[in-house]
C-alpha cells in the first residue's frame, strides 16, 4: 500500500495537512491530496500553513486540485475527513468501494471543516488529523 490519497472538500485545510503528515511519516510512499469540490489552484489556507510550520512541515507549495477518477484508480487507500465524504466519493466513483475510509476510522470520529473559522478550529482539526494518521500508520506499514 504505497499510494495514498487524502481527501476533503476544498483541498486547502484538512487534506493538505493529512498529506504532509503522512508523507513525513511514510517517506517511501506516494501521498497526495485532492478535494471533492476543490478550490483548484488555491494555496493552502494560511492557518493550515502556520499549523504545518508549527509541526515542522511545509505547505507553501501546495495548490488545491479536484479529485479525478485517475487519482482514485491510482490510490490504494483513500482517507477522507468525514463519513459524508466517503459516501460522496463512492457515489461519484463506485469502483473505489473497499479502499475509502475515514482518517478517524479507528477512533470513530469525523474531522470537522475549519474553513473560515478561528485558529482554534484548525488546531482541533489538526489534532484529529494527527490522531488519525497515528492510528493508520501501523496498519499502512503492515500492508506495505
Catalytic residue among 13, 14, 45, 102: 14
Task: Pick the catalytic residue from 8, 13, 45, 72.
Answer: 8
| CA proximity to 92, closest of 48, 134, 30, 35 | 35
Contacts of 140 (CB under 8 A, 6+ apart): 1, 4, 26, 29, 77
Burial 39-55 (b: 16+ CB within 10 A, else e): beeebbbebbbebbeee
Alpha-carbon gap, residue 137 to 53, rounded angstroms: 21
82, 18 contact by CB (below 8 A): no
Q: Are 99 and 72 in contact (CB under 8 A)?
A: no
Catalytically annotated residue among 24, 63, 110, 113: 113
Q: Position of cell 477512533?
A: 107
Q: Look up 113 and say whether it is catalytic.
A: yes
Q: Is 8 a catalytic residue?
A: yes
- Active-site positions read 8, 14, 113
Amino acid at each position: 500500500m504505497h499510494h495514498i490519497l487524502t481527501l476533503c472538500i476544498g483541498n486547502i485545510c484538512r487534506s493538505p495537512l493529512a498529506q504532509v503528515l503522512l508523507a513525513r511519516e511514510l517517506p517511501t510512499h506516494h501521498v497526495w491530496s485532492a478535494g471533492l469540490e476543490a478550490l483548484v489552484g488555491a494555496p493552502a489556507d494560511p492557518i493550515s500553513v502556520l499549523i504545518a510550520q508549527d509541526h515542522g512541515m511545509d505547505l507553501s507549495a501546495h495548490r488545491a486540485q479536484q479529485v479525478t477518477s485517475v487519482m482514485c484508480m491510482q490510490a490504494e487507500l483513500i482517507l477522507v475527513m468525514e463519513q459524508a465524504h466517503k459516501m460522496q466519493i463512492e457515489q461519484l466513483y463506485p469502483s473505489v468501494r473497499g479502499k475509502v475510509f475515514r482518517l478517524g476510522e479507528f477512533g470513530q470520529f469525523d474531522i470537522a471543516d475549519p474553513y473560515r473559522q478561528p485558529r482554534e478550529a484548525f488546531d482541533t482539526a489538526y489534532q484529529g488529523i494527527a490522531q488519525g494518521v497515528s492510528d493508520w500508520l501501523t496498519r499502512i506499514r503492515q500492508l506495505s
